[in-house]
């Protein structure tokens, strides 16, 4: 695994560990509890947002991963996941947070999350779910994701990567939980990046109110 995330050096203060959800791992990153500082950093641009796909319908399953254009053969977003994804985009726009490139895993649940939030998306094969990848492929995808996390966006904007749990675990030793969470990184170039914040989907809607106080 690649461990480029500098967990002991959060860029913004007042971090505290989130209460564990059922799927949380011991290395789930801390929340950031200073909304104004977080919003200032996001408005300035220069960050990379890793967005795990939104909440999914557990009555659906990945039954055939050979053709990822066939959404009906994959686990899909639930109605709540769709609502939360739209709400994340609405909050970003309300806060005036500039978004540059939006790239996603080719899985439909990740693509739908990005489209609902941002209205546009590019497929990035390197973000493909590692669930059935062999060891060499998983290592290659982890290295590619580390490069994406370490590459600064164009000036004044933040880039978005929509993906899955295992990929970020392999690339950054962080477990993005729950579904719909956004993990914010500051790229440092040359495969290096720093953890900034963990933002659960429901927290985005709280940020405009917190900043307005």
- The three-state secondary structure class of 110 is helix
Q: Which residue has the tokens 């509890």?
A: 33
Burial group, residue 173, by CB count within 10 angstroms (0-12, 13-18, 19+): middle
- Is there a contact between 192 and 186 (Cβ–Cβ < 8 Å)? no
Residue 119 maps to a domain = yes
Q: What is the pTM of this model?
A: 0.86
Q: Considering the domain boundaries, does residue 140 fall inside one?
A: yes
User: What is the structure's pLDDT at 32?
Assistant: 57
Judge whether 96 lies within some domain.
yes
For the chain, which residues score pLDDT lower than 50?
1-22, 24-27
User: What distance in Å separates the CA atoms of residue 60 and residue 72, rounded to the nearest whole number?
Assistant: 9
The pLDDT score that the predictor gives to residue 31 is 63
In a domain, 14, yes or no: no
Residue 17, domain member (yes or no): no
Closest by Cα among 134, 129, 135, 170 to 149: 170
Residue 20 lies in a domain: no
C-alpha 73: how far from its chain's center?
23
Laid out side by side, the sheet with 48-52 consists of 122-123, 99-104, 158-163, 48-52, 182-189, 192-199
The CATH number for 140's domain is 3.40.50.1240
Q: For position 11, what pLDDT does the model report? A: 34
Q: What pLDDT is recorded for position 4?
A: 45
Task: Quote the pLDDT of residue 207.
Answer: 86
Tell whether 123 is covered by a domain. Answer: yes
**Domain range spanning residue 104?**
25-59+70-212
In a domain, 204, yes or no: yes
Report how many domains make up the chain: 1
């Amino acid at each position: 695994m690649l461990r480029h995330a500098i967990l002991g050096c959060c860029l913004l203060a007042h971090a505290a560990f989130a209460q564990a959800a059922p799927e949380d791992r011991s290395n789930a990153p801390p929340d950031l509890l200073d909304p104004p500082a977080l919003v200032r950093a996001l408005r300035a641009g220069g960050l990379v947002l890793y967005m795990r796909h939104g909440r999914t319908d557990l009555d659906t399953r990945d039954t055939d991963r050979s053709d990822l254009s066939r959404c009906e053969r994959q686990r899909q977003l639930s109605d709540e996941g769709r609502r939360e994804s739209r709400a994340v985009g609405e909050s970003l726009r309300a806060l005036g947070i500039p978004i540059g490139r939006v790239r996603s895993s080719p899985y439909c649940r990740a693509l739908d999350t990005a489209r609902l939030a941002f209205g546009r998306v590019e497929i990035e094969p390197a973000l493909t779910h590692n669930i059935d990848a062999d060891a060499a492929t998983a290592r290659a995808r982890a290295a590619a994701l580390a490069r994406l996390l370490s590459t600064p966006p164009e000036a004044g904007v933040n880039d978005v990567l929509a993906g899955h749990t295992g990929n970020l675990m392999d690339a950054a030793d962080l477990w993005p939980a729950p579904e719909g969470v956004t993990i914010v990184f500051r790229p440092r170039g040359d495969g290096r990046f720093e953890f900034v914040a963990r933002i659960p989907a429901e927290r985005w809607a709280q940020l405009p109110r917190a900043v307005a106080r």
